[in-house]
Structure 1
Amino acid sequence: MAESVFHTTLEHEGVAEFVEKKSVFIGHACPVSSEEEALAYVKKKKSEYADARHNVWAYLQKGEIVARYSDDGEPQGTAGVPVLDTIRKSGVSDAVVVVTRYFGGILLGAGGLVRAYSHTARLALDAAHIITYEQYTELELVCSYSDYQKYQAELPRFGSVIDDTQFADRVTLLFSVKDPVVEDVFARVREISNGATLPTVRGKRFDYR
């Protein structure tokens, strides 16, 4: 039996604000589908907050395959790395976080900066709503009308999602199931059709679970 495959990312853009010793930290978190999209988002926020002292950012793509960050003038290791670590600890991928800082005139020290940037990044991620998707296998099944009635009763037992049903000389069922039950679905279809029919795989997709 195949194991479930999950993908955790952000549902939408999130914004949060945090004030520490008169410094105002504004966090933005957003789902992105590519490195180019992440960098474009960073550029947009840096333009929107061009009057700020720092626009620190980090993003994570494709799990751990692509990861970048910038301290944007803060002491090395006190800003970009904490933001990236916060993304990693959240379990999120395909996401970018930009934390803008308006300096309040009071130095926070290295530890204070790490805490402030980490906390603001976490607030922004929470505001963006962390969401987990599970991988589904998309299947197509062509069957007789008599067997179609049986599949209508049986497929829901496997948690199937019916994507489309097309009626002609025969019935074409387009449906999706979670990866761990694909083999069970094939076995049940084989039983119902007496080995005459098997689904064909159309592809894969992630759905919210």
Structure 2
Amino acid sequence: MPAPLPRTLADPVDHELVIKKSRFLAHLAPVASETEADAVIAAVRKQHWDARHHCVAMVLGTHADSQRSSDDGEPSGTAGVPMLEVLRHRRLTDVVAVVTRYFGGVLLGAGGLVRAYSAAVAGAVDAADAGGGILERRTVREVSVDAPHADAGRIDHLLRDWSAAHGAVVDDPEYAEVARLRLLVPPTELETLDAELAAASAGRLRATVGAERIVDVPAHD
């Protein structure tokens, strides 16, 4: 069985941490590209123009195959990489994390900085998780069922009930010469769907399986 895909964020999330008078302001945001991530970073820099550091970590791609980090003037390896490790450990992708630091006058040392930047990002992820803001990514197949208009209401109701019980998603139907009912179905449930359709239509209806897609659903769904 393939490993589950990395997760992502539904919405931006913020978290503040104060350690020895230094303020660490973590901002995490969902992004679809490095260009979008750079725009988030620029906006944070503009908002907190008077801060000393804006450290960054980002993970991009369906399989988290693109990663980047920056210490932004902190000692090498004390900020960006620890932030990136949190995103990796929490299985997140298509997300950028920016932690802005306002120095409080007390040196934290390398170990203290690593712990602070890690904790700031972890706290933001925890806040997103607690608020239902983490999205799981699932691989599904596009499926269509062509039904006569006279049967469309009954079959549509059946497919909605079936989808709710089998982790599928009902897509928008199309109406032409026949009613084309559409679903997004987990690959493991395709045989079950065919059996359900055959039983409900005396073998007249079958599912046509189309392209593979990736969809985001709430992690606690």
Q: Please report the TM-score for the alignment, with normalisation by the length of structure 2.
A: 0.81
- The answer as to whether partners of 1:16 and 1:127 remain within 8 angstroms in 2 is yes
* Alignment map for 1:42-81 (pairs within 5 Å): 42-62=41-61, 63-81=63-81
Q: CA deviation at 1:161?
A: 3.2
**1:28 — aligned with what?**
27
Q: Pick the structure with more strand per residue.
A: 1
Q: 1:59 to 1:181 in 2, by over 3 A?
A: same
Map of 2:146 onto structure 1: 142
% same residue? 36
Q: Per-residue displacement from partner, 1:143-179 (whole Å, max 9, x unpaired)?
A: 2356654574366335343323445543221222222
Q: Counterpart of 1:157?
A: 162
Question: Which runs of 5 or more structure 1 residues have no equivalent in the other structure?
Answer: none
In the alignment, is the contact (CA less than 8 A) between 1:141 and 1:199 conserved in 2? yes
- In 2, Cα distance between equivalents of 1:74 and 1:121: 16
Cα distance in 2 between the residues matched to 1:50 and 1:25: 14
> Bigger relative contact order, structure 1 or 2, given CA contacts below 8 A and separation 6+?
1
Cα offset, 1:193, TM superposition? 6.1
| CA distance in structure 2 between the aligned counterparts of 1:131 and 1:197, rounded to whole angstroms | 31
Alignment match, 2:125:
125
Shift of the 137–193 alpha-carbon distance from structure 1 to 2, 3 Å rule, reads: farther
| Cα contact 1:4–1:178 (8 A) shared by 2 | no
Report the aligned-residue RMSD. 2.6
Give the Cα–Cα distance (whole angstroms) in 2 for the partners of residues 196 and 22 of structure 1.
Answer: 67
How many Å apart are 1:30 and its aligned residue? 0.7
Task: Quickly say closer, same or farther: Cα 1:4–1:85, change in 2 above 3 A.
Answer: closer
The unaligned stretches of length 5 or more in structure 2 are none
Count of equivalent residues: 208
* Residue identity in the other structure for 2:35: E
User: What SS is found at the alignment partner of 2:172?
Assistant: strand
Greater mean deviation of Cα atoms: 34-43 or 194-203: 194-203
